[in-house]
Structure 1
Amino acid sequence: MNELRYIKDVILKCKYKYIAGIICIFMVDILQMVLPKVLGVLTDKLKSGNFTKDDLVTYSILIVVVSISTAVFRFSWRYLVFGVSKLIEKTIRERLYIQYQRLSPNYYNVHKTGDLMSHATNDIDNIRMMVGQGVALISDSLLLPAAILVMLILTAGVKMTLAAFSPMIFLIIVVVSNVKNMHIRINRMQEAISDLTEKTRENISGIRVVKSFVQESEEVEKFKKSNLHNKEMNLKFVRIMSTLHPFVMAISYLTFAITLLYGGLKVIYSEITIGEFVTFAGYLLQLIWPIAALGWVTSIFQKGIVSLKRVNILMDENPDIVDSDDSISIDSLDWKIEMKHLNFTYPESHTPSLENINISLKKGKTLAICGKTGSGKTTLINLIPRLFNASAGTLFIDDVDINRISLSSLRKNIGYVPQDTILFSATIKENICFFRDFDDESIIKAAKAAGIHNDIIDFPRQYETIVGERGVNLSGGQKQRISIARAIIGNPSLLVLDDCLSAVDTHTEALILGALKEIMKERTSIIVSHRISAIKDADEIIMLDEGRIIERGNHDSLLEQKGIYCELYQKQLLAAKIEEEE
């Protein structure tokens, strides 16, 4: 029952529909008992010569009524049980998606996207099959044999019934002995489809890189290996089912053979009538379906249980970053940022990414961070919106430990432009407002400040232009500027720009920074960039190297130090002159 913990409330809420559906299945099974009995009675009447026209009309009407009633009850149980399974599918998929939103960024660093997609598709589909088709089949497989067993005993006695059912012992032994093996193979099959999904997603996302390096053939070979592994894992499961199904059918026909032999002898010795034999045989024919379905039912439940366990593991994951019990809102604070002896090491690493960072950034001031790749720039700014947790007592907003600030109030006051620009498959307008309630005037104003307005109005549909997946139909600079517009439209208290002007030329960069100056004047700002031209007007500039601050000051004081910053500035000046001459 604990395995159902994330869907138990939905099952309990719909329990009456489930019960009504199972009652309808029971009614179908009861009605199925009528036809063999009618055939038996008709056989005895025909043999005795007592069959009349009234009997013909009566039994014909009875069969029609039974057929219509069976159809009504069969529709009812399908509508009820499958309806509940669809509701459970919808609910668990929504809860899984909510869990995806709750999990911390680091979770996605160590788990494959393909595996997460498989949870939301294959695994949930298997759960739906288990709570829908599986429940219906298991109910039918229990109720129908029970009803048939009662009718067999009433028709031909206990001995003949036990003789007919004796081969079932071997069937139960075979099914039970294969349950564990089926569980293992289904688990491996699910893992294989997850790997295949990830491989496909990765290749489609990187198709332009694949084509630019002419690696189509190599990628096809990699896919073939993953696809072959998926096929092999599926075949291992199919082998079990391929063995089980013929065995089940053999048992069914063996049961019928025993009935024919034993029942025929009883007819010969006049222990039962021909009509009773026909009735008995008719019931046994109806028993073939639930017996044959036993392997299918086992497969559905094994797949569902494996998938349910996989989903439960993900649902049990707790986010690393959550609100503390004494969390507070910071809507009215001034956004003075302080870092005191801040150190940080990634969860999967043993080497510190930041060491002894001390920074004091007052409201309305701009901090610039510069340094070579891997020096810790992005790590540092990721601590401010708490994409990762800083140690207690090392990072403060208005003298409040950042770990005490509620995540919602912290993040909604931050305009963050990440290094890796992400746009969604929607219109430019929707990407800028990000489905928030902003009027057209605010959207255009933000676009102008980000230097993207003129580009947008050149598009045929302007702000209603559909952006392709991840902004594929835009240039790198256009994507970055739309991302900047998205960050500044909400008038955030803190603006964080993580090397977000790398894809624009120096002239466009100057225009954007000039437009942003007015916006940044009244708010705290942090700019990360490799270009000195983008950060030279900052109130304070820090140079990072291997997670440590090695130089700090404003532009002029850093030039006077004749250190790494000055050397970088001279190189960039020289590069700019060469570019102008060319």
Structure 2
Amino acid sequence: MSQGVTTAKPAVDSRVFTEGMRVLWVAIRAEPWVFAVAVAGASLHAAVNVASASVLGGITERVILPAFEQGRTTTAALVAAVALMMAVGVLKGLGLGARRLYAGLMQYRMQARHRRAVARKYLELPLSWHQRHPAGQLLSNANSDVEAAWQPLAPLPMAVGSVVMLVIAAAAMLVTDPVLAVVGFVVFPALGVANVVFQRRVTPAATRAQTLRSQVSEVAHESFDGALVVKTLGREDTETERFTRAAHRLRDAQIRVGRMRAAFDPLLEALPNLGVLAVLLIGVVRLADSAISTGDLVQIAYLFTLLALPVRALGWVLGDLPRSVVGWKRVSAVLDAKGGTDHGEAVLTGEDGLRVSAHGVAFSYADAYTGEPADDSGSGRDLDGSHHEEGGARTTVLRDVDLELAPGRVTALVGPTGAGKSTLTTLLVRLVDPEEGTVLVNGVDAREYAPGELSNATALVPQGTFIFDDSVRDNITLGADIDDDAVWAALRLARAESFVAALPESLDTRLGERGASLSGGQRQRLALARALVRSPRLLVLDDATSAVDPQVEAQILGGLREADLEGATVLVVAYRRATIELADEVVYLEQGTVRDRGTHAELLERSPGYHRLVTAYEQAAEQRAADTAARTTDQEAIR
């Protein structure tokens, strides 16, 4: 289940601060007014905080000290002191509220915007791209990576306000007493050094932790998705151990980051407090020399106590930057992914079936991984979270395929396992584009049609049936405005009407995750009804009735012939001889190319490979009968 990865350790990125600022600038450009209001609130809070030191110093000088000296004070002085403190409190509350509200608004807007952008990009990217990226990683990109990218936005306005506070506080201290200000300013170079050391140490750890978070999501998704296999083969303990190993790697990585932050945060707390102690020690000496007043000393000491929080806010932003940069890189890798489906402006005309043809079509799958030796993570990804890009090695599936599907006709596509039948169906409905050759729809290159033109006119029912955890009705309509009469007509055509009518709430019955309450054949018939309700002009059934018994399958295919589908073009990937015999034409595909085409009878006569394939079951049955007869004869001879 694991794939190879490189063993290289993530290098310390000395540019993490610059890259982090670029990420934050993306958010500021996207939400300039929200950011401006948040910063204005933070600046108001910061300015009032600094002003509160002057207020406190003034109250000390004019109210508290005279009260001690005279043994009394006036009502006016007390009222003025209380009014000033209340005004400070109200203004601080307004600034704090604006900062928190709009900082959160900015963060959540950016997360929502990029989750939508990632999801939209997933829908634009071709099926071949999704085949190279596990679902767990895609979930991680849209969730934890987006969240990590914009995590610093919450403390960012506070950090900007902190810079404002530091500037105002520095000016106020210099004006009050330059000597004490210079003593206190020794703290700031120490804080800068601490931040640089922290960034260099935490960046690789944060990178690995973010990558391992994605890997845990992948393992969990794979285990839950394969729950039936795990349980039927009794592999619960193995899967539990596999998830445990991934979870423990993530735990250890996060603990390592936590330890670094645990050492960094107390240092941020301690340095301003050490500055306060230095100011008080030297301030007492200067107070004794009458160089400053008591109020000045109280004001400067209080300003330094205020500096602890802004310094911490700067630390929060700087501490979140490494994870933010990693998350943004992983999100950007999705948003910048190439291979989106190109479209033109052509429009489908008419209402009858589509004439579809393939000319010289070739297609190959890129190797998903390059096969480097595995590290202890057991993942198929580099430690920055990106998958290895495919190299030169590719597996060719189709080569020089020519095919013609006519309106109003049923064509059976037959071939051995691995011949490329399913791949060809995805090309014909343009889930992927051919590497060579062209697919024409009504004589026009499929790539020239406008978005939605082909998808609205075609329907593919694949081998694997997906049922949503929703009602029968919503599983068939998928949110489209389709009335119940049309839904029942599609169910009737798919031979699903009787079992749906027998469900507890009929069309309103919830089917559970992946339709767990239904049999395989029932799920296939619902998927077929989902396609038929849209009256497709091209209907492709990729072994879509394999779980249905032959009698019901014959009824379904017979019903398709009799139904009024506006002469729809039908392609059936078939294995059963009874199904093949219902087709107007048979196309025999072998080793990625069309070997022969014609009626079932014609191919039986002239194509040895086709003959062996479609008569394999009959030959096996004849062989079993002959073996049984031989054993019976031997037993009678012994008696």
- After TM superposition, the score normalised by the length of structure 1 is 0.92
Q: What is the rounded CA distance, in whole Å, between the counterparts of 2:147 and 2:59 in structure 1? A: 42
User: Which stretch of the first structure deviates more once superposed, 55-64 or 408-417?
Assistant: 55-64
8 Å CA contact retained: 1:134, 1:301: no
Aligned 1:120-269 pairs, distance under 5 A: 120-131=142-153, 133-155=154-176, 157-269=177-289
Aligned 1:115-514 pairs, distance under 5 A: 115-131=137-153, 133-155=154-176, 157-324=177-344, 327-332=345-350, 335-348=354-367, 350-391=394-435, 393-514=437-558
1:410 partner SS: coil
Could you tell me which amino acid in structure 1 is paired with residue 354 of structure 2? W
Q: Does 1:531 align with 2:550?
A: no
Q: What is the rounded CA distance, in whole Å, between the counterparts of 1:411 and 1:441 in structure 2? A: 23
Higher RCO structure, 1 or 2 (CA under 8 Å, sep 6+): 2
Q: What is the rounded CA distance, in whole Å, between the counterparts of 2:364 and 2:566 in structure 1? A: 33
Per-residue CA shift, 1:98-131, capped at 9, x if unaligned?
1121111111111122222122222222344322
Task: For residue 392 of structure 1, report the CA deviation from its aligned partner.
Answer: 5.8
Q: What is the rounded CA distance, in whole Å, between the counterparts of 1:576 and 1:511 in structure 2? A: 25
Q: Does 1:59 align with 2:81?
A: yes
8 Å CA contact retained: 2:42, 2:96: no
Per-residue CA shift, 1:39-78, capped at 9, x if unaligned?
5324433454385132223212321232233223322222
8 Å CA contact retained: 2:43, 2:162: no
Closer, same or farther: CA 37–144 of 1 in aligned 2, 3 Å: same
8 Å CA contact retained: 2:414, 2:586: yes
1:441 partner SS: helix
8 Å CA contact retained: 2:43, 2:161: no
8 Å CA contact retained: 2:366, 2:395: no
Q: Does 1:561 align with 2:582?
A: no
Which runs of 5 or more structure 1 residues have no equivalent in the other structure?
none
Closer, same or farther: CA 158–31 of 1 in aligned 2, 3 Å: closer
Per-residue CA shift, 1:5-48, capped at 9, x if unaligned?
86565313645534543444345434543553245324433454
Q: What is the rounded CA distance, in whole Å, between the counterparts of 1:570 and 1:111 in structure 2? A: 39
Task: For residue 437 of structure 1, report the CA deviation from its aligned partner.
Answer: 1.1
Q: Does 1:102 align with 2:108?
A: no
2:272 partner SS: helix
Task: For residue 366 of structure 1, report the CA deviation from its aligned partner.
Answer: 1.7
Closer, same or farther: CA 468–551 of 1 in aligned 2, 3 Å: same
Closer, same or farther: CA 251–270 of 1 in aligned 2, 3 Å: same
Task: For residue 369 of structure 1, report the CA deviation from its aligned partner.
Answer: 0.8
8 Å CA contact retained: 2:273, 2:305: no
Closer, same or farther: CA 320–71 of 1 in aligned 2, 3 Å: closer
Task: For residue 278 of structure 1, report the CA deviation from its aligned partner.
Answer: 2.1
8 Å CA contact retained: 1:390, 1:403: no
Could you tell me which amino acid in structure 2 is paired with residue 79 of structure 1? L
Per-residue CA shift, 1:154-209, capped at 9, x if unaligned?
33x11111112213212211212332433332221111101011111111121222
Partner of 2:113: 91
Q: What is the rounded CA distance, in whole Å, between the counterparts of 1:267 and 1:46 in structure 2? A: 20
Could you tell me which amino acid in structure 1 is paired with residue 197 of structure 2? S
Task: For residue 393 of structure 1, report the CA deviation from its aligned partner.
Answer: 4.5
Partner of 2:590: 545
1:328 partner SS: coil
User: Which stretch of the first structure deviates more once superposed, 56-65 or 38-47?
Assistant: 38-47
1:92 partner SS: helix
Task: For residue 551 of structure 1, report the CA deviation from its aligned partner.
Answer: 3.5
Q: What is the rounded CA distance, in whole Å, between the counterparts of 1:445 and 1:187 in structure 2? A: 55
Per-residue CA shift, 1:230-286, capped at 9, x if unaligned?
012212222321221222223123212211211111112221222322222222111
Closer, same or farther: CA 350–124 of 1 in aligned 2, 3 Å: closer
Could you tell me which amino acid in structure 2 is paired with residue 474 of structure 1? L
Could you tell me which amino acid in structure 2 is paired with residue 214 of structure 1? G
Q: What is the rounded CA distance, in whole Å, between the counterparts of 1:138 and 1:101 in structure 2? A: 38
Q: What is the rounded CA distance, in whole Å, between the counterparts of 1:257 and 1:246 in structure 2? A: 16
2:454 partner SS: helix
Q: What is the rounded CA distance, in whole Å, between the counterparts of 2:348 and 2:217 in structure 1? A: 42
Could you tell me which amino acid in structure 2 is paired with residue 565 of structure 1? Y
Could you tell me which amino acid in structure 2 is paired with residue 547 of structure 1? G
Closer, same or farther: CA 313–8 of 1 in aligned 2, 3 Å: farther
Could you tell me which amino acid in structure 1 is paired with residue 496 of structure 2? I
Task: For residue 144 of structure 1, report the CA deviation from its aligned partner.
Answer: 2.0
1:409 partner SS: coil
Pairing partner for 1:44 from 54, 65, 70? 65
Closer, same or farther: CA 321–32 of 1 in aligned 2, 3 Å: same
User: Which stretch of the first structure deviates more once superposed, 397-406 or 477-486?
Assistant: 397-406
Could you tell me which amino acid in structure 2 is paired with residue 328 of structure 1? A
Pairing partner for 2:134 from 112, 122, 140? 112
8 Å CA contact retained: 1:337, 1:361: yes
Q: What is the rounded CA distance, in whole Å, between the counterparts of 2:621 and 2:485 in structure 1? A: 37
How many residue pairs end up in the alignment? 576
8 Å CA contact retained: 1:364, 1:522: yes
Could you tell me which amino acid in structure 2 is paired with residue 73 of structure 1? G
2:167 partner SS: helix
User: Which stretch of the first structure deviates more once superposed, 418-427 or 51-60?
Assistant: 51-60
8 Å CA contact retained: 1:195, 1:226: yes
Q: What is the rounded CA distance, in whole Å, between the counterparts of 1:575 and 1:317 in structure 2? A: 49
- After TM superposition, the score normalised by the length of structure 2 is 0.84
Task: For residue 498 of structure 1, report the CA deviation from its aligned partner.
Answer: 0.3
Could you tell me which amino acid in structure 2 is paired with residue 231 of structure 1? R
Closer, same or farther: CA 548–458 of 1 in aligned 2, 3 Å: same
Q: What is the rounded CA distance, in whole Å, between the counterparts of 2:142 and 2:363 in structure 1? A: 33
1:352 partner SS: strand
Task: For residue 299 of structure 1, report the CA deviation from its aligned partner.
Answer: 1.4
1:408 partner SS: coil
Q: What is the rounded CA distance, in whole Å, between the counterparts of 2:534 and 2:25 in structure 1? A: 40
Q: What is the rounded CA distance, in whole Å, between the counterparts of 2:514 and 2:405 in structure 1? A: 34
Which runs of 5 or more structure 2 residues have no equivalent in the other structure?
1-20, 368-392, 629-639
